[in-house]
Amino acid sequence: MRRVNTVVEGLAPSTFRRAALAVLAMLLVAVATIEGALAQPAPTPIEELLLENTELIQESSRRTIEPAIAAIADSGLEGADVVLQRWEARDLFVRESDGRFFLAERGDDRDTYNLFHVVTKEPMGTAGRREVDQIKPNSGIRALIAAALVKFQLTNPDPAVRRGALEALLREPSAEQLDPLRAALGRENDPFLKGAMERAERLLTVRFEEDEAKRVEAIESFAGDLSVEARATLNPLLNTTLKVSKEGPDEDENVARVLTPGSENLSFDAAYDLLVRRDLAPRIINAAARDAALVEHIENGMVAGVPVASLDTREARDAAYSRLEEQGAVTQTQTEDEIADLIASFTFYEVYSEPEAITGAVLGTIAAINRSVAGYGFLDIALDALSLASIYFLAAIGLAITFGVMGVINMAHGEFIMMGAYTGYVVQQFIPNYTASLVVALPLAFLVTFAAGVLLERLVIRWLYHRPLETLLATFGVSIALQQLAKNIFGTQARPLTAPDWLGGALVINDVVAISYIRIAIFVLAIIFLVLLLFILNHTRLGLEVRSVRQNPRMASSMGINPDRINMLTFGLGSGIAGIAGVAIGLFAKVTSDLGSGYIVQSFMTVVVGGVGNIWGTLAGATLIGFLQKGIEWFNPSNTLAAQTYMIIFIIIFIQFRPKGIFALKGRAAEA
């Protein structure tokens, strides 16, 4: 194979090269198919270029790759853009023996690759599986390749390609792209793309245009634009460097501000550090330096006449050091006053790297943007809080019925949520269409947990109506048994429960406020349940019976109501709702056997805080807890755990002062 290659190379003067190659290639293909081995034609120019850069390409590092990309992109060779695209798409393979590039496909058996030409896709023989390596550019390199491709693609007839090019351009913007972009802008017909290109042009103008007036104009055109892109372009223009000098700022420097040492923006220590770094002040002798000096001057177990063994306090060491100072053996330490005087003799100030015209325009534009960003940021937090509240509400609403209306503590409530989530998972195993499976899973989850609830009520809870504390314990037993059962059946690994595509994205209002559709769906579901339950409890026969059994079971039964049946149905209803909540929670988080136990304490608190026996109370409780938690998180965004801790502590204190919750039942019902 190798020999044929060299022969061909020797044979081919450039003019005849292609024709000769084509003939030869065809011949060789014919021969190869007979022999099962294949020789290859000489590299085409683009292949030669790749071969020249083979080391860089194989090294595949963003630090060194740029010359290789530039060489191909600027080569002007036909197929350069195709090669770049295939490189970006990870279609290139390199043969280890000679560093030549191909496209490759797995052969019929797993151990060979069929090779093809990088541009023309002509067959180029086969290679063993371990003889070729796939070139896998990382995303940093891919971004560079995409940026190099921009100039080929901005005028591509396919709008999707142009859009991709525009994205790539914004990801790796550079000054050279400004001209091709402006040229392409003139020729763009698609109105949407034209808008996007026009915006990209302004973004690039802000950064790379030389004409100051045009830049200012572009900067000001972003007034009120909340996008991260716009802010990411404007903010760096306000970068400053901290400077220090005796004379103060020069005339031509664009000073952002003068800093006073000792103020919030520049502590004395930081100011002095800066002076030391600029060699404007001597180092302060710190503890380590002092100790090092002491060790250096140990003679016969003594430092300046002080025995080493006695240097076991700071004061003793300082004293020994002063003695050394007196002997002139070490550098003088400075007093606080000396340091302060030295700092005071300098001016510290920050200087913009951009000229005043630009910074002025940016400051004017960005201030308004930042104000709206802060406002929208608050809105975003509020939406998150609302979403969290609806999740808590959904998890707790089943409890609001079983605990709130019936007074039954069901510690296995969390496990009903878990059962619902697993039902969703099982349904997805049988119905691969996510939308259809969701439509099936929601009612099925209700049925499954309704049945489980009725079973639990019949077998366990109805014997314990007069012993609420024991219900708590018995249902806890059910809870641990169910959790372990789920582990035994489904394994301990989390199971996938995937939302359909139409629930996949997020509702993006702007780059600050966005909320995922799945959270909106949960919110809607919570509202539906709220309305439904209010309707059932207040406007149906069942609701009437439930309320009457709750207030006085004996009186109710004498009115012809069967309390047994009502309790069973109510408990089933509460459990069934937990099942549906489980599907929703599984969709946005995870499906594991301990899914429910994470919600149980919070759910009980939601019900208790809101006021037992009242759906509105549960709503209020969930809202309070959701907003509280997000509010605390907002103050301390780096520690979510702390937010949860303080939220619970707040609730404990809250219940001390309002033991019956926000919506306390009054009158006779409260005693029931």
For residue 77, the minimal CB distance to another protein (Å) is 27
**What's the CA gap between 175 and 205, in Å, rounded?**
9
For residue 293, the minimal CB distance to another protein (Å) is 11
> Looking at beta carbons only, is 357 or 655 nearer to another protein?
655
**What's the CA gap between 165 and 200, in Å, rounded?**
11
> Looking at beta carbons only, is 536 or 627 nearer to another protein?
627
- What Å distances lie between residue 305 and 103, 155, 322, CA to CA? 81, 85, 12
For residue 385, the minimal CB distance to another protein (Å) is 9
For residue 566, the minimal CB distance to another protein (Å) is 21
> Looking at beta carbons only, is 443 or 504 nearer to another protein?
504
CA 459, 445, 543 angle in degrees (round to 5)? Answer: 65
For residue 456, the minimal CB distance to another protein (Å) is 10
> Looking at beta carbons only, is 213 or 469 nearer to another protein?
469
For residue 167, the minimal CB distance to another protein (Å) is 8
> Looking at beta carbons only, is 97 or 488 nearer to another protein?
488
Convert 332-361 into a string of H (helix), E (strand) and C (coil).
Answer: CCCCHHHHHHHHHCCEEEEEECCCHHHHHH
**What's the CA gap between 578 and 401, in Å, rounded?**
10
**What's the CA gap between 588 and 581, in Å, rounded?**
11
> Looking at beta carbons only, is 25 or 585 nearer to another protein?
585
> Looking at beta carbons only, is 117 or 215 nearer to another protein?
215
> Looking at beta carbons only, is 194 or 660 nearer to another protein?
660
For residue 282, the minimal CB distance to another protein (Å) is 23
Which residues, including other chains, have CB under 8 Å from residue 324's CB and lie 6 or more apart? 293, 294, 297, 303, 304, 330
**What's the CA gap between 272 and 342, in Å, rounded?**
9
Q: Tell me, what amino acid is at 138?
A: N
For residue 73, the minimal CB distance to another protein (Å) is 19
Rg of the chain (C-alpha set): 37
**What's the CA gap between 289 and 295, in Å, rounded?**
10
Question: At residue 473, what are phi and psi to the nearest 5 degrees?
Answer: -70, -40
> Looking at beta carbons only, is 272 or 321 nearer to another protein?
321
List the end-to-end C-alpha distance of the chain, in Å, as a whole number: 94
**What's the CA gap between 200 and 472, in Å, rounded?**
62
For residues 321 and 315, the answer to whether their CB atoms sit within 8 Å is no
For residues 52 and 71, the answer to whether their CB atoms sit within 8 Å is yes
For residue 169, the minimal CB distance to another protein (Å) is 13
Instruction: State the Cα torsion 209-212-216-222 to the nearest 10°.
Output: 10
Which residue in 602, 386, 588 sits closest to 500, CA to CA? Answer: 588
For residue 233, the minimal CB distance to another protein (Å) is 6
> Looking at beta carbons only, is 144 or 533 nearer to another protein?
144
Stated length of the chain: 672
Give me 589's structure tokens. 């988080």
For residue 64, the minimal CB distance to another protein (Å) is 10
**What's the CA gap between 298 and 304, in Å, rounded?**
8
Alpha carbon 83 to chain centroid, angstroms: 33
CA 553, 557, 560 angle in degrees (round to 5)? Answer: 150
> Looking at beta carbons only, is 77 or 379 nearer to another protein?
379
